[in-house]
Amino acid sequence: MRHLCALRKPAMNPCVEHKLLATRRHLLGSMAGGIGAAALTDLLWSGAHAASPITSASDPLAMRPPHFAPRAKRMIVIHLTGSPPHLDMYDHKPQLVKRDGEECPAETIAGKTFAFTSGTPKLLGTRRKWRRCGQSGMELSDAIPNLHRVADKLCLVKSMHTDQFNHAPAELMVYTGSPRAGRPSLGSWVTYGLGSENANLPGFVVLISSGVQPNGGTSSFGSGFLPSVYQGVQCRSKGDPVLYVSNPEGMDRQLRRKSLDALNDLNQMQAQELGNPETLTRIAQYELAYRMQTSVPAVMDISQEPKHIIDAYGAEPGGSSLANNCLLARRLVEEGVRFVHLFDWGWDFHGTNPQQDIRDGLTKKGATFDKPAAALIEDLDQRGLLDDTLVLCTGEFGRTPFREGRTSGGGVLGRDHYPDCYSIWMAGGGVKGGLTYGASDELGFQVAENPVHIHDLQATILHQLGFDHTKLTHRFQGRDFRLTDVHGEVVRDLLS
């Protein structure tokens, strides 16, 4: 049986392959026979595999097998846009507290560039209280009290590091493997490799709270050079669930069906002639949009949930919030959506206003996050979905162990961007619950043990979904591209 990756990376531009194959068929049909015909028959047979991606693209979201048996069948990502202050939530540094207000040791900042800080900044110890939680004794702060009760489900990685210290390139690095726009996002790679379990819903759904788009824009959930059917579909918990899917005034569902049938006939003719995968993608998207007119409003209506579930998340039917989106994420994966990506704005704790203060500001913002996040984990677990649903919570980088330069003389406490060491957590999907992995040094400047680069995290995620990250590729402009570029190692110590 041919390996999946061999079918997912055509040897050349599929339009060119289609024309070459059509030319071979024409020649074969016009020849009388003999050795030439036999040779061309052999050539045609060997070329049929090259054309197979075009044929399979007629149903681009059809389910496909991964490279090996997966531990996770689906994924939910909670991205805290702006990047939360991990030293006030996940990584307790008693020595940093003890040395609060001292100048940073020269060796910790020498040769480094920071987003908004220059000179010699002052160390900033956390003001939060900490406790060891669950049977694992995972140490978490009082900024996220609801996560305390699910500590034994969390896999906390305290040794993450990345290459970027500004928001947009760092966010793109997390989800596309490159700091520059144009590469496929994580959700796109997953749906490209696995397809979707529900033909009436998108394979990749995006939900945004706090009213602001991701730092990387739509590129953070775009399909890049993959067919556009694999890009994230942005849904809303307030108003029309999906923009521009409803029928315009004067068009009923029957007329819409007739219009689509006519369009599909024309697109099929063009696909037969030119073999462009985007034509087949267009057909699939039109048909999916038609089915979504009835399927999406139902799945997006959280008022159908029991009151105790709504209350557990802190959700409000008809509203727009991270709480609503966490509940929607559970509903979507339960209905067969492969990848759900939540973006929540407001985690850029520079200290430029009271909302960005690591004291009261973090308490208020944390309350909008940790209750629904904990409820999501518990809800998935109670429904038997957590074992094969991988949940990731992350920002694009970490925050500095010192006060941000612009606000260092004021009364509001904040931290600058920091890529060298930060924390993330995962749950479910075959990762070890109750594990605290890696460590930073006593002041939080550098990874002290078990470093995990962003490409390692990507490789590990794909592994849990059943992929060898080096073989989930797509040929573009003469090169086989992958999410992890030419880097990344699976962090097997995180896996159960």
Q: Closest by alpha carbon to 236, among 292, 140, 320, 147?
A: 320
Confidence of residue 22 (pLDDT cuts 50, 70, 90): low
Q: What is the mean pLDDT of residues 305-325?
A: 95
Q: Is the pLDDT of residue 370 over 60?
A: yes
DSSP reduced 3-state for 299: helix
What would the two tokens of residue 329 be?
């994420």
Which comes out higher in pLDDT, residue 345 or 268? 345
Report the length, in residues, of the chain: 496
Q: Is the pLDDT of residue 37 over 90?
A: no
Between the alpha carbon of residue 259 and those of residues 245, 253, 294, the distances in Å are 14, 10, 17
Chain-centre distance of CA 29, in angstroms? 48
Q: Are 351 and 412 in contact (CB under 8 A)?
A: yes
- Reported pTM: 0.84
Q: Rounded to 5 degrees, what angle do the CA atoms 270, 275, 276 make?
A: 85
Distance, CA of 137 to CA of 151 (rounded, Å): 8
Q: What burial class does residue 68 get, using C-beta atoms within 10 Å of its C-beta: 0-12 exposed, 13-18 middle, 19+ buried?
A: exposed
Q: Closest by alpha carbon to 393, among 83, 127, 36?
A: 83
Q: What is the mean pLDDT of residues 284-308?
A: 77
DSSP string, 313-324: HT--TT--SHHH
Average pLDDT, the chain: 87
SS3 content of the chain, % helix, strand, coil (to 5): 40, 15, 40
Q: What is the mean pLDDT of residues 294-315?
A: 89
Q: Closest by alpha carbon to 350, among 427, 405, 270?
A: 405
DSSP reduced 3-state for 160: strand
Confidence of residue 44 (pLDDT cuts 50, 70, 90): very low
What would the two tokens of residue 297 be?
């409003």
Confidence of residue 429 (pLDDT cuts 50, 70, 90): very high
Chain-centre distance of CA 410, in angstroms? 36
Is residue 287 within a helix (H) or strand (E), and if so which, with residue range? helix 277-299
Amino acid 19: pLDDT: 54
Distance, CA of 276 to CA of 18 (rounded, Å): 8
Q: Is the pLDDT of residue 184 over 90?
A: yes
Amino acid 35: pLDDT: 44
Quickly count: other Cβ atoms within 10 Å of residue 182's Cβ: 12
Amino acid 266: pLDDT: 81
Q: Are 433 and 155 in contact (CB under 8 A)?
A: yes
Distance, CA of 300 to CA of 428 (rounded, Å): 24
DSSP symbol at 63: -
Amino acid 327: pLDDT: 97
Largest CA distance in the chain: 90
Q: Any idea which residue has 């399909």 for tokens?
A: 223
Could you report how far apart the first and last alpha carbons of the chain are, in Å? 29
Q: Is the pLDDT of residue 388 over 50?
A: yes
Amino acid 28: pLDDT: 47
What would the two tokens of residue 109 be?
């900042």
For 197-240, write each residue's pLDDT tens digit.
988 888 999 999 988 899 999 999 999 999 988 999 998 766 66
Which comes out higher in pLDDT, residue 243 or 320? 320
What would the two tokens of residue 357 be?
């203060």
Amino acid 249: pLDDT: 73
Q: Any idea which residue has 């709504």 for tokens?
A: 310
Q: Rounded to 5 degrees, what angle do the CA atoms 325, 328, 333 make?
A: 125
Confidence of residue 33 (pLDDT cuts 50, 70, 90): very low
Distance, CA of 323 to CA of 309 (rounded, Å): 11
Rounded percentage of the chain residues whose pLDDT exceeds 70: 81
Q: Are 307 and 257 in contact (CB under 8 A)?
A: no
For 244-292, write each residue's pLDDT tens digit.
566 677 767 676 677 777 777 787 787 777 777 777 766 776 666 666 6
Q: Are 191 and 203 in contact (CB under 8 A)?
A: yes
Which comes out higher in pLDDT, residue 166 or 19? 166
Amino acid 9: pLDDT: 45
Residues 6+ apart with CB under 8 A from 439: 158, 159, 447, 448, 449, 450
Amino acid 435: pLDDT: 98
DSSP reduced 3-state for 194: helix
DSSP string, 89-121: TT---HHHHHTTTSBPPHHHHTT---SS--S-P
